[in-house]
Structure 1
Amino acid sequence: MKATSTRATVAACLAVAMAAMAATAAGPAVAAGAGAAVGREDWQGLLDGIVAAGAVSAIAEIRDGNTTWRGTAGKATMGGSRPAAVDGKFRIGSVTKSFTAATVLDLVGEGKLRLSDRVERWLPGLVDGGAGITVRNLLQHTSGIPDYAEDLFDEWGVPKERFRTWSARELVERVKGQPAEFRPGTRFGYSNTNYIVLGLLIERVTGRPYATEVKERILRPLGLRNTTLPGASPEVPRRHAHAYAPVTRDGTRVPVDVTRFDPTMAGAAGEIISTTADLNRFYRALFQGRLLRPSLLKEMTDLTAAEGYGLGLEAGSLPCGLAWGHGGGTRGYSTVAFSSADGRRQLALSFTPYHGDPEPAALTLLTSVLCR
């Protein structure tokens, strides 16, 4: 989970979205880069466009009311003949943060935790300045805690120690003694460390590992049978597309398969493996009020303190309004999972970028789905 890439896809998408919004403000909403409104029959072509732009594979599930469309493009392996499985599993990267945040807010709803609680109260001595950092600060990335993941990767974005097993405390200790990025609550600064701390907080409050709480509070009630928290297992379950990184060796760029690695380096900030169907089911349940009480969902979508980010949710400005969800990435996997505010229209997309720039093509699909 490269610190600079976990939000790269979404950042690129939203930048194009803002341009599209400006271009279409006076007229009907259209997909970014398209000359006219894109209909359901064109979704396969847009998915193919992501592969044409440089991805090895792309899979998507689109929900529009009670209608569901699934599509696949490209191959499961570079140079292979087997198509990417439409129900294939993939690493969702920072989309994990929405699951972690929903679990924390569920604990808040039960009265076991407060958003105003200080980190020092629950996890004394864990982070520098914990007496001034609240649970809310962690959730919305306004804590100022540096990102532990900054130097875990080599120049090609491949984990330096791919199969090392990390404890959550070891990850947090990587930033111990580093100066804060800013005073808590004064601005937004995306840091994976915030969500590693939240995983430890869940464990401290409940007495059970954060993964167990996510399973019991989200996966099991929603029937997300294809979503897993792998712990230290480097494997992606069967029926998955492989991820690749372009690495230069002896002056030549060669693809290196980076599908397998120990995901403890991501933990509560980015370890989950899922499918497009499960991601859409999760976000629809969340936005339709089946996971959290209305007051807590309102807190989750409050953008007052951090423009474009709530509590474990990203907000994207599209020509037709705000899209809610999260983007994520591990090396070789990119995920876009966004919904309309009412949860009726959704896109869950996974693609495996290798060269070129597939992100604008991903945004074109996103806007075509949410702004029909």
Structure 2
Amino acid sequence: MTTLHKFLVAFIVTAVMLFTSCSKDDDNNAPSNNYTTVENILHEVNFQGYAIVTKNGNDEVRQGFGLANESIGLPQDVNLAYRIGSVSKTLTAAAIVQLKRDGFISSFNQTLDEFDSQFPNGNQITIAQLLSHQSGIPEYQLIAEQALENGQALDAIDIYNVITELISENGLNFTPGSNKQYCNSNYLIAALLVQELSGMPFHQYIQQKIFNPLGMSNSFKGTDIIDANTHAQGYLNGIPNSTYSMTIPFGAGDFSSTPNDMELWTNAVKTSWFSEAEQAEIFTQDVPSGYTDFGLGWFTTQEGNTTMYWHGGDINGYWSMIGFIPEYDATIVLLSNQQDDTGLQRNTIIQQLLTNEFQ
């Protein structure tokens, strides 16, 4: 097992659990000689879903694997919706960047007490620390899920109050900035900040500032129960498993999207959606080879001279990943409707791509 693989297995399993027929347009987009290799990687791990992998302007893979709905024989499709789980965090982080563009915040170094004077230890926690999981704020997910099991549905404001109570009673998990710990609470708070400062619902702000300008017409706030006509059915061990209360993840992971829309978003981030100055703040630099580090809404994984920026997600019945590799003008979109509690499929695919296809 390589150093990269060891680290990815240890890191990704804990970091991105929610809380984480091929086609070509024309001869100029003909697959490269590595097409079969990438396709084989996906077959070997029993990937089920839709995959897009491009390299230097060519499609390595653009195809569905398995069925989107086994009961009705629905094929995977580039315009079919999938839950994307924590990949939603890339959108929430981008909304915070947009807040700065719109003048609602002046710096990512502003502290939470500037927006809520009653937030415990808020004078120690910056917006940048929220988005890079350096805040020390405790996780809320299990508490919200247990409350729902007991018949009490918590909305985002309720969960916010739970988080502040946890901090008041038990303190932060660590001094902000001294450590890094993946935590959905950071992104629920960030989404509420978007809502509060913009004066519009969080999802409406994302729609207006990101989806509409990029033509992402099939991305939306997920529903507790999917529409089987337009949405891939999620599975766990072959059994349908796609029902989940979307009030729990909120800005940490409640979006659904299509492979086509996720390609649009990834390509936008890869090219011009962020300015050079914004990129310098968002993407972690100087990561040692074989390691992954947090940025503001994106991970950086370094293997040799190859840098991949990405995020993954997991939610009932689904796992996802989007990413890009500047050195190869590469885009990666993997939306699966087969839950993988171990993260092994994603880990293996990342390891194989970085050590074989992009070196």
Task: Give the TM-score range, shorter chain.
Answer: 0.7 to 0.9
Aligned partner of 1:300 in structure 2 is 282
Alignment of 1:53-202 (within 5 A): 57-68=48-59, 69-77=61-69, 81-113=73-105, 114-125=107-118, 127-152=119-144, 161=149, 165-175=153-163, 176=165, 177-202=169-194
Distance 1:241 1:318, change over 3 A: farther
Q: Give yes or no for contact 2:292–2:299 (8 Å, CA) kept in 1.
A: no
C-alpha separation in 1, matches of 2:189 and 2:311: 19
Distance 1:216 1:365, change over 3 A: farther
Match 2:311 to one of 326, 351, 359: 326
C-alpha separation in 2, matches of 1:245 and 1:164: 26
Q: Share of identical aligned residues, percent?
A: 21
C-alpha separation in 2, matches of 1:13 and 1:340: 22
Name the SS of the counterpart of 2:331 in structure 1. strand
Map Cα deviations across residues 186-218 of structure 1 (whole Å, 9 max, x no partner): 111111011111111111211111111111111
* Structure with higher RCO (Cα < 8 A, 6+ apart): 1
- Count of matched residue positions in the alignment of Structure 1 and Structure 2: 324
C-alpha separation in 2, matches of 1:183 and 1:354: 33
Moved more, 169-178 or 76-85: 76-85
Map Cα deviations across residues 117-149 of structure 1 (whole Å, 9 max, x no partner): 111111232x42112111111111111100101
Aligned partner letter, 2:280: K
C-alpha separation in 1, matches of 2:250 and 2:126: 20
C-alpha separation in 2, matches of 1:171 and 1:294: 35
More helix by share: 2
C-alpha separation in 2, matches of 1:107 and 1:190: 23
Alignment of 1:140-289 (within 5 A): 140-152=132-144, 161=149, 165-175=153-163, 176=165, 177-230=169-222, 233-236=224-227, 238-245=229-236, 256-289=239-272
Distance 1:13 1:339, change over 3 A: farther
Distance 1:342 1:265, change over 3 A: farther
Moved more, 313-322 or 162-171: 162-171
Distance 1:119 1:370, change over 3 A: farther
The answer to whether 1:311 aligns with 2:300 is no
- 1:83: Cα distance to partner? 3.5
The answer to whether 1:12 aligns with 2:6 is no
C-alpha separation in 2, matches of 1:296 and 1:321: 21
Distance 1:354 1:282, change over 3 A: closer
- 1:304: Cα distance to partner? 7.7
Q: Give yes or no for contact 1:236–1:259 (8 Å, CA) kept in 2.
A: no
- 1:263: Cα distance to partner? 1.1
Distance 1:163 1:90, change over 3 A: farther
Moved more, 70-79 or 309-318: 70-79
Aligned partner of 2:358 in structure 1 is 371
Map Cα deviations across residues 21-52 of structure 1 (whole Å, 9 max, x no partner): xxxxxxxxxxxxxxxx981233332222232x
Name the SS of the counterpart of 1:337 in structure 2. strand
Aligned partner letter, 1:99: L
Aligned partner of 1:362 in structure 2 is 349
Q: Give yes or no for contact 2:136–2:172 (8 Å, CA) kept in 1.
A: yes
Q: Give yes or no for contact 2:307–2:327 (8 Å, CA) kept in 1.
A: no
TM-score, structure 1 as length reference: 0.77
Aligned partner of 1:20 in structure 2 is none
Aligned partner of 2:23 in structure 1 is none
Q: Give yes or no for contact 2:80–2:230 (8 Å, CA) kept in 1.
A: yes
Distance 1:214 1:11, change over 3 A: farther
C-alpha separation in 2, matches of 1:343 and 1:173: 45
C-alpha separation in 2, matches of 1:58 and 1:162: 33
C-alpha separation in 2, matches of 1:260 and 1:185: 36
Distance 1:38 1:337, change over 3 A: farther
**Unpaired runs of at least 5, structure 2:** 1-6, 14-31
Distance 1:354 1:295, change over 3 A: closer
- 1:162: Cα distance to partner? 11
Q: Give yes or no for contact 1:123–1:204 (8 Å, CA) kept in 2.
A: no
Name the SS of the counterpart of 2:159 in structure 1. helix
Name the SS of the counterpart of 1:63 in structure 2. strand
Aligned partner of 1:353 in structure 2 is 339
Distance 1:244 1:97, change over 3 A: same
- 1:318: Cα distance to partner? 3.3
Aligned partner letter, 2:159: L
Moved more, 305-314 or 208-217: 305-314
Q: Give yes or no for contact 2:283–2:296 (8 Å, CA) kept in 1.
A: yes
**Unpaired runs of at least 5, structure 1:** 1-9, 17-36, 247-254
Name the SS of the counterpart of 1:265 in structure 2. coil
